[in-house]
Amino acid sequence: MKSTSNYLRCEGREIHYQAWGDPAAEPVIAWHGLARTGRDMDDLAAHLAQSGRYFVICPDTIGRGLSQWSPDPDREYCLAFYVRLAVALVDQLGLKAFHWVGTSMGGAIGLLAAATSLRGRIRRLVLNDIGPELAQPAIERIRGYAGNPSAFDTVTELEGYLRQIYQPYGWMSDAQWRRLTETSMRRLPDGRVTPHYDPAMVRQFFVHPDDYRRWTEWDSLSLPVLCLRGESSDLLLPETAEAMRVRGPRAEVVTVPGCGHAPALNVPAHFSLVERFLEGS
């Protein structure tokens, strides 16, 4: 299954997205995590698109991947602005209603959008290891490596580093690890390679410290929600997932074995969970 690389101007910023499948098919927005890119969704997007039923759009958030970096980090690296980008994106694509699959930050964007600007347009919401409350030690862990990305002389060294910090994603083939590395790296002026994102995006946690506290929005939702929780996740705690099951939209909560934060959505077992939910079965 082939994809296309595309760019749109959203809220005055150039946003890149990868598109999979027939544009006339049922649309799915698949949004990546904090320090990642839309290419993390390649495997899931290809699987959904090859059925012919789904058209999958995988954006790079501003400051990540091939999207523009923000000239105003303190104002634009936050969930509210990411939602504005999402609205501009789906409006320009002419998508009146669609499903949303979001890993980590991408799920938080979907949650907030479903409760506010895109209420009624998001039909089904998949939250991949994210909820309306996050464990603070995990936030500190992510903030530590994301705010000061390492740089390496070779791509092979960078891949080794990414295999280490993203080990909680669960099993990935050697080819998947290589693709993850090559699709989320950039070369610095000194020739070294580093992850492909703006380190200033981590300022979200300092300037908008309550950005990921969203119980009010959660309790307002009424759409179907599937929450996938990595078995050993340190970000989405079991008690939070249980509260999501009994509060607000009363999510279907599924524990994904062999993963922490966050399941990579890269194997048939993961595909089946998402596909079954999107189909309403």
Q: What is the pLDDT of residues 146-162, one digit of tens each?
A: 888 999 999 999 999 99
pLDDT value of residue 147: 83
Number of domains the chain contains: 1
Question: Which string of DSSP letters, residue by residue, matches the chain?
Answer: --EEEEEEEETTEEEEEEEES-TTSEEEEEE--TT--GGGGHHHHHHHHHTSSEEEEEEPPTTBTTSPPPSSHHHHSSHHHHHHHHHHHHHHTT-SSEEEEEETHHHHHHHHHHHTTTTTTEEEEEEES--SS--HHHHHHHHHHHSS---BSSHHHHHHHHHHHTGGG----HHHHHHHHHTSEEE-TTS-EEESB-GGGGGHHHHSTTTT--HHHHHH--S-EEEEEETT-SSS-HHHHHHHHHSTT--EEEEETT--S-----SHHHHHHHHHHHTT-
CATH number where 225 lies = 3.40.50.1820
Identify whether 104 is part of a domain. yes
Q: What is the pLDDT of residues 221-267, one digit of tens each?
A: 999 999 999 999 999 999 999 999 999 999 999 999 999 999 999 99
Identify whether 85 is part of a domain. yes
Identify whether 204 is part of a domain. no
Identify whether 142 is part of a domain. no
pLDDT value of residue 143: 79
Mean pLDDT of the 67-92 span: 98
Give the domain range for residue 32: 3-135+212-278
Identify whether 32 is part of a domain. yes
Identify whether 9 is part of a domain. yes
On the question of pLDDT at 213 being above 80, the answer is yes
Identify whether 184 is part of a domain. no
Identify whether 147 is part of a domain. no
pLDDT value of residue 281: 62
